Amino acid sequence: MQQINLNTSIYTLTKEYPELIGVLADLGFGEIKKKALRHTVGKIMTIEKGAKAKGIPMDAVRAALRKSGFEPVAGKGEAAPSRVAQLKSYLARLGAGEDLERVRRDFAAAFEDVAASEIMEAEQAMLAEGTPLEEVQRLCDLHSALFHGATREERIAAAETAVAESVRNQKAPAEGERARHLYAMVGHPLHTLRQENRALEKLLQGAKDALNRNEGVKEYVDAIADVSIHYAKKGDLLYPHLKAAYGVSGPSNVMWTVDGELRKALRHLQGEDSAAELMPLFARMEEMIYKEENILFPVCAEHFTDADWRGIYRDMKAYPEAFGVSSARWEAGESAPKNAPDTGGRIALSGGSVKPEEISALLNTLPLEITFIDAEDTNRYFNDGPKIFHRPSMALGRSVYSCHPPKIEPVVRKMIADFKSGAKDEVTVRTEKAGRKVEVRYMAVRDGDRYLGTMETVRDLTDDEARPLRKGGTTPA
């Protein structure tokens, strides 16, 4: 009679004894017949763990094994795979076409204490290995589904408790605890973002109730459209800084893309009253709220310094209100020093000399939004003043590519590469933004043939195109 270790992975056992596949399938391990699952989840699942998950008595398991010529023993098992490897195995099961709810149940059983940082680590590992972005997004969705089945409040409470316990076990500060501490600071960026989420939840619930009563929802949808402001704050201030300053690329590569999809879907459906169209979109927005407060915000709280948060607070002032939520004053943020130009000696130029503060004032006086990206593709300068396209000061010193969503990044890379090679000197785009006609120009900055960087200018054309041309000169009317 062959001895088999109940603590050895099902993958190892079935590879050595293929006849076990039929024995275990007859016991109720139906998925064991799928090769893809044996080679993924089978590497982290044992007979004993599987029997417990499926509610199969171990006495029945041992009896069936002995009947088939195997003597079960409880020896020392194999080295457990890393938690990231385990998380990746659940994604592989989804990729193999397994039902989401079945995977969710196994995930919940094995990962009740999953921490947001581990989800981020798993996402980044898979992206580094070449896993398509769309597949990695499904892991984020799976984590969001972990606590489904309870009320929203119960899910959030359970998630925060699990995150805190998980990180305490690792002898690290609890992500959930730190995030809750920042949520309580009136005026702190996370406090404001969370208040916006509460307002969005009320609008989504109101819209769903109206749809269930077969009433129109145009006013609700118009108000929900402010989600683009909320998502812009994340896209400009949180995702890029996590990626550029701390190497946490999961949110920028995964959640940022989903934000764009939701904004686009909402624009497409404005004016619609179809529950079949709107209900799935509202559900995805609610999922994003959950992901923000249980993955993104705790990870930001864990990494960002006080100086980071002060800079983000300062930059958030440039954004309009979302859902009627006013940004409260945060005293610690008000003390943040602004980036001031050097006030040293005069700078000699070919056309004369100016002081640094004079150069700053001149550039701020121009009726343009100006960005300069140096030869190393790093954001070096934004002029001051009202902006159609927000440029957070936190982005200075960061790669220009970190400031663009994944879908746009290849376009920016190609354009700058053309500037560097000399294939192009300028690219001009005319578009609309917030009801304004806008011209965006990208220009290669050169010293002779030497490429120094790229300048981007944004000009509002709305009033210019409405104003008639004056004949015989350029004197203002």
CATH code for the domain of 388: 3.30.450.20
Boundary-marking domain end, from 335, 352, 382: 335
Ranges assigned E (strand) in 33-99? 70-73
pLDDT at 421: 94
Residue 159 in any domain: the answer is no
Residue 193 in any domain: the answer is yes
303 and 404 in a single domain? The answer is no
Q: Express each pLDDT in 24-41 by its tens digit.
A: 888 888 778 877 667 656
pLDDT at 13: 86
3-state secondary structure of 339: coil
Residue 353 in any domain: the answer is no
pLDDT at 340 over 50: no
Residue 360 in any domain: the answer is no
141 and 200 in a single domain? The answer is no
Q: Express each pLDDT in 306-318 by its tens digit.
A: 999 999 999 999 8
Residue 114 in any domain: the answer is yes
Q: Express each pLDDT in 169-185 by its tens digit.
A: 443 334 467 888 898 99
What would the two tokens of residue 371 be? 């960005």
66 and 116 in a single domain? The answer is no
Per cent of the chain over pLDDT 90 is 31
Q: Express each pLDDT in 53-80 by its tens digit.
A: 778 888 888 888 888 888 888 765 555 5
Task: Give CA–CA dist 302/292, Å, rounded.
Answer: 14
List the domain range (segments joined by +) for residue 211.
175-335
331 and 182 in a single domain? The answer is yes
310 and 179 in a single domain? The answer is yes
Task: Give CA–CA dist 472/477, Å, rounded.
Answer: 12
249 and 274 in a single domain? The answer is yes
130 and 275 in a single domain? The answer is no
With cut-offs at 50, 70 and 90, classify the pLDDT of residue 197: very high
pLDDT at 138: 62
152 and 285 Cβ atoms separated by less than 8 Å: no
Q: Express each pLDDT in 118-140 by its tens digit.
A: 666 666 666 666 767 666 666 56
* Secondary-structure breakdown of the chain: helix, strand, coil percentages, each rounded to the nearest 5: 55, 15, 30
231 and 260 in a single domain? The answer is yes
Instruction: Indicate whether this model's pTM tops 0.85.
Output: no
pLDDT at 385: 83
* Average predicted confidence (pLDDT) for the chain: 80
Beta-bridged to residue 433, according to DSSP, are: 436
138 and 230 in a single domain? The answer is no
185 and 224 in a single domain? The answer is yes
CATH code for the domain of 43: 1.10.3910.10
Tell me how many domains the chain contains.
Answer: 4
With cut-offs at 50, 70 and 90, classify the pLDDT of residue 157: very low
Residue 162 in any domain: the answer is no
332-348 average pLDDT score = 64
Q: Express each pLDDT in 418-427 by its tens digit.
A: 999 999 999 9
Q: Which of 447, 445, 442 is nearest to 426 (CA)?
A: 442
Which helix (H) or strand (E) is 227 found in, with range?
helix 227-233
150 CB neighbour count, 10 Å cutoff: 11
Burial-class residue 268 by CB neighbours within 10 Å (0-12, 13-18, 19+): exposed
244 and 290 in a single domain? The answer is yes
Residue 257 in any domain: the answer is yes
Residue 158 in any domain: the answer is no
50 and 88 in a single domain? The answer is no
pLDDT at 244 over 50: yes
Task: Give CA–CA dist 442/454, Å, rounded.
Answer: 7
pLDDT at 305 over 90: yes
Q: Which of 15, 19, 14 is nearest to 47 (CA)?
A: 14
